[in-house]
Amino acid sequence: MDSAPSDSHSSALHDNTKVVNDDGPIAVTPLQTNASTAFGTSNSSIRDKEGSIANRLRAQKDLVTKFIFDAATKLPPAQPLPTNQTRASLNSLFGSALEGRDHTVCVRVRPLLKHEQDDAGCYSVVTANNPAVHVHSVDFRWNGRSNIRTNKYDADVVFGPDDSTDAVYNAIALPLIPLVLSNGMGTLLAYGQTGSGKTYTMTGIQERVAQDIFALAEQHRQTREPGWDGVTGGSGFEFTLSFVELMGKQAFDLLSDKKPVSILEDVFGAVHLSGAAEEPVTTPARFLELVERGASLRRTEATAKNATSSRSHAVCCIRVKNTLLPEAEDGILYLVDLAGSESNSDSSDHSRERIAETKEINKSLGTLKDCFRNRALIDSTDSHVHIPFRSSRLTLLLKEAFDPASARQARTTVIANLAPGITDVPQTLNTMRYIAPLRVPVRSTSPPAISDPSNPAVWTNAQLRTWVRANYPGSKIDPAVLCPTESGKQMCRLPMGEFIARCVLCDGVSEMSARLLYEKMWKLLITARLRARKRPGEAAAVKSKPVAKAKLKPDSTSAAAAADDDDDAVTTTADLKPGTFIALNPEHEGMRDKLNTVPVVALLLAPHASGAWTVADMANLEEEKEGDEAGRYELLIESKRVVPKAMIKGRVEVEYVRTSRTYRLCGVEV
């Protein structure tokens, strides 16, 4: 948002005045009214004053609505909404994924509801004029005179009360689907005060995603032919759906009777929604059935503004596995219906528990704001920017949308929902104050980037082609196929799945080598970003994260790497700490009767004073296999137990395999 609310323009009802905002003074037509008589003065108590204000607002309905109407006629014509008549053409939809901002901020103004229309004291004071929104409020002065103050905010897209959910979906949700089908990450967050239409909007979007995602997956397969022409039946995609609610530090599975689940970040930086059901979905009907089941379990409470207010963040996660590109990570679509924001005055009548809950909700919304804004800032500033994504469960779960070191192509959109009534103005202004800083202006010039030739984001198409030729051994990847027209910046916005799919169209190019090239380009980009942040120490730390090593290690070299690691794989127990992977001693007497059922690798969770540890089990997925293949493990975070110190054989090195979400043991015989 470009204009600060405090600099909004105001117009006295009683005299000729000027409207001032960031763009400078704008003259307005004077209102021919004796407003001071209409509003009057009052020396009564605060409560009387509030009642009197309500009466005055009611009395002034015609006056204020006329002012708003007149003001609206002076606005420039609203810009047309972005539409996707191209729903039939996935290619053009996909093209839109390469353009535009990665962090978008939209506003949806809902219509006045029936009961609001019936209330003579409530009338609409919000004007949607895409891409701006105007919020009008009435200020009463001590002398009985009154002003109409208009706050103008800019957004990327503004939807008005007459815009349908179809229009919202087409503009902001539909373009995320091709990204997700290409192994990227799309996140849509509905924000707003309680009763502003978040659930209405998100439910409508879920219904439309359910209809479109399967059809677009089939189209996606067809656009990839002949590369994927061996596929018969099905689109080559597998979909799963998880649905969780987050309340403070707790998370519950909405698909499994609200079973508690954990959100964990392992030592490799991978975040796990551990213990949540991942239900396979193959049809729109099944998709909707799951979403409805989850929504019915979500926690709601009556609030001042909404009889069934959602008091938790509901996160619907659609995971897309492309079975035709097993080397690419799963695409992920997060549809997040945030808990309603409430001001302190709204929750003042609540119990202590409810007030604490409101505080917790507002805290996590504050963290979300910081993460969103700071991530967007990284692309437009050279200063160091801290992104506190570990400060709340929600932002930890959505880590890849915020983490600058993430190599996943991610797009995040916040849609702020507004109730248009005059009685909601304080909350509406709060919502806009929350949203305003999220919209970070795009940097028009990028001198540091230009001075950094190793940053792929500034390469021309010719430079990109030269780099591809130089970096693919044997030069089998034809740049004309991989990047016929794209600039370096566009290439960095290409989701991994699309990158790999283009590479394997070239003869003799394996998926693994395509993936390595993709990761090499991202590594250059992340390193350049970190260099630009002028924190060499931090850059080095991120570079040396084990996840980078794990990601860049192809299958063919893992045996050699495992052999290299062999010597130091098992160490002393002195340096054990939570998050360390350990081997358990099968000779220990505590293990003997469990030898066939207990996994012998585990993850340390918490130490006990006695020296024992609470550990999480790791299930060996390939017990029958031998050699390097023998050590694929799945983390069973809910399966915990306490093991004595003597049972811990030592620390083991593992690497995280993102594509299968498993851990591979490096060079340790178990």
Ligand X SMILES: Nc1ncnc2c1ncn2[C@@H]1O[C@H](COP(=O)(O)OP(=O)(O)OP(=O)(O)O)[C@@H](O)[C@H]1O
Return residues touching ligand X (CB under 6 A): 110-111, 113, 192, 194-200, 306, 309-310, 340, 417
Select 110 or 152, whichever has its Cβ closest to ligand X.
110
DSSP secondary structure code for residue 504 in this structure: T
Is 537 assigned to a binding site? no
Neighbours of 138 (CB within 10 A): 21
3-state secondary structure of 104: strand
Tokens 């730390």: give the residue.
541
Rg of the chain on CA atoms, in Å: 28
3-state secondary structure of 244: strand
Query: If 0-12 CB within 10 Å is exposed, 13-18 middle and 19+ buried, where does residue 65 land?
Result: middle
Select 8 or 196, whichever has its Cβ closest to ligand X.
196
Select 151 or 310, whichever has its Cβ closest to ligand X.
310
CB of 301 to ligand X, least distance (A): 9
Select 299 or 658, whichever has its Cβ closest to ligand X.
299
Give the containing element (helix H, strand E) for 631: none
CB of 410 to ligand X, least distance (A): 25
CB of 3 to ligand X, least distance (A): 25
CB of 113 to ligand X, least distance (A): 5
Select 242 or 310, whichever has its Cβ closest to ligand X.
310
Select 102 or 360, whichever has its Cβ closest to ligand X.
360
CB of 4 to ligand X, least distance (A): 26
Q: String of b and e for 154-168 (b: at least 16 CB within 10 Å)? A: bbbbbbbeebebebb
CB of 420 to ligand X, least distance (A): 10
Residue 106 and residue 169 in contact, taking contact as beta carbons nearer than 8 Å: no
Instruction: Report the candidate in 94, 90, 104 with the shortest Cα–Cα distance to residue 411.
Output: 104
Select 420 or 456, whichever has its Cβ closest to ligand X.
420
Is 92 assigned to a binding site? no
CA triple 263-290-250, angle to 5 deg: 25
Select 340 or 599, whichever has its Cβ closest to ligand X.
340
Length of the chain: 670
Cβ-Cβ contacts under 8 Å for 434 (sequence gap 6 or more): 191, 341, 365, 369, 416
Is 196 assigned to a binding site? yes
Give me the amino acid identity at 2: D
Residue 521 and residue 670: Cα distance in Å, rounded?
Answer: 36
CB of 496 to ligand X, least distance (A): 34
CB of 160 to ligand X, least distance (A): 10
Select 306 or 513, whichever has its Cβ closest to ligand X.
306
Number of residue whose CB is nearest ligand X? 340
Is 41 assigned to a binding site? no
CB of 417 to ligand X, least distance (A): 6
Neighbours of 531 (CB within 10 A): 16
3-state secondary structure 358-382: HHHHHHHHHHHHHHHHHHHHHCCCC
3-state secondary structure 142-159: CCCCEEEEEEEEECCEEE
Is 199 assigned to a binding site? yes
Cβ-Cβ contacts under 8 Å for 303 (sequence gap 6 or more): 194, 195, 309, 340, 342, 346, 347
Residue 584 and residue 594: Cα distance in Å, rounded?
Answer: 12
Cβ-Cβ contacts under 8 Å for 53 (sequence gap 6 or more): 140
Which residues are known binding-site members? 192-199
Q: Annotated binding residues for ATP, as ranges?
A: 192-199
